Amino acid sequence: MTTPLLSIVNLSVPKKGRAEPLLDKVTLFVEKGERVALVGLNGSGKTTLLGSIAGLFRHEGEIRVEGELLTSKSAATIRGKLGYLFNVPEDQLLFPRVLDDVAYGLIRGKVPLARAHEKALEVLKTLGIEQLAHCTVHNLSHGQKQRVALAGALITGAPLLLLDEPSAALDPVAKMQLAKVLRGITHAGILCATNDLEFARAFCHRYIFIEAGKVVPELVDEAAILARWGLSDGRSPV
């Protein structure tokens, strides 16, 4: 049997001062080349789950990336295997100029500046935003910032991409462009938190549904998820 790219077994994240944990015995696996949508209503635990893999939350249970167990000692190595898109792009944009920000993951890895900038331009081109390369990050629109942050997450070619609602601020054209880019990623596994089922359908192989911190194993398709939300017939549930 091959080692899964991401293996999570009985992951629980306790909540201070509350009996119910933020995540409750979550078990899931993502293989290399798999694109998985992590779906769940607001507050269900999607961001907490992605953050746990990056070592941002104290947890119980096992998280392994390429077989390596996440511990306080291995956290930095494991973070090096991740391309992480934060829910709020401002949380990860560090440099004033787009090109420098996108290139940072490579520069940190000691790639020469000129090569890092060249590669950053390539990634911006792939995402259809090369015209933003010399813009000031601060002046970008929210959707532009989200795409720049995504370029920064993609640039190192990390084997595991954790994307927290990458389509949230995108216009319909940008959203479908992004789905196409993600469909073309075969070197990595993708775990993508999203409630945009049209977007997920456009690039994901399967769904993992989470509710109140627990994976609901029987909810594995769009129809079942919509039914759970009371949206099966396309009408408002209220």
Ligand X SMILES: Nc1ncnc2c1ncn2[C@@H]1O[C@H](COP(=O)(O)OP(=O)(O)OP(=O)(O)O)[C@@H](O)[C@H]1O
Interface positions with ligand X (CB under 6 A): 15, 22, 40, 42-48, 87
CB of 46 to ligand X, least distance (A): 4
- 33: which residues sit within 8 A by CB, 6+ positions away? 186, 187, 188, 189
Q: Three-class SS of residue 5? A: coil
Contact partner at residue 117 from ligand X, Mg ion, none, CB < 5 to 8 Å by partner kind = none
- Alpha carbon distance 130, 121 (integer Å): 6
- Of 46 and 119, which has the nearer Cβ to ligand X? 46
- Of 63 and 210, which has the nearer Cβ to Mg ion? 210
User: Which residue's CB atom is positioned nearest to Mg ion?
Assistant: 47
User: Should residue 195 be labelled a site residue for Mg ion when binding is judged by CB under 5 A?
Assistant: no
- Of 152 and 166, which has the nearer Cβ to Mg ion? 166
Distances in Å between the alpha carbon of 87 and those of 93, 147, 167, 229, 238?
12, 12, 10, 23, 28
User: Which of 4, 21, 35, 47 lies at the binding interface for Mg ion (CB under 5 A)?
Assistant: 47
Find, among 205, 200, 213, 163, the residue nearest to 186 by Cα. Answer: 205
CB of 73 to ligand X, least distance (A): 23
- Of 46 and 64, which has the nearer Cβ to ligand X? 46
CB of 139 to ligand X, least distance (A): 26
CB of 193 to ligand X, least distance (A): 6
Q: Helix 172-183 vs helix 142-154: angle between axes, to the nearest 10 degrees?
A: 10
Contact partner at residue 45 from Mg ion, ligand X, none, CB < 5 to 8 Å by partner kind = ligand X
Residues 79-98 that bind Mg ion (CB under 5 A): 87
Query: How many C-alpha atoms does 36 have within 13 Å on its Cβ side?
Result: 24
Residues touching Mg ion, count (CB under 5 A): 3
Contact partner at residue 40 from Mg ion, ligand X, none, CB < 5 to 8 Å by partner kind = ligand X
- Of 107 and 197, which has the nearer Cβ to Mg ion? 197
- 202: which residues sit within 8 A by CB, 6+ positions away? 176, 179, 180, 183
- Alpha carbon distance 238, 236 (integer Å): 5
Contact partner at residue 7 from Mg ion, ligand X, none, CB < 5 to 8 Å by partner kind = none
- Of 115 and 142, which has the nearer Cβ to ligand X? 142
- Of 50 and 124, which has the nearer Cβ to ligand X? 50
The contact set with Mg ion (CB under 5 A) reads 46-47, 87
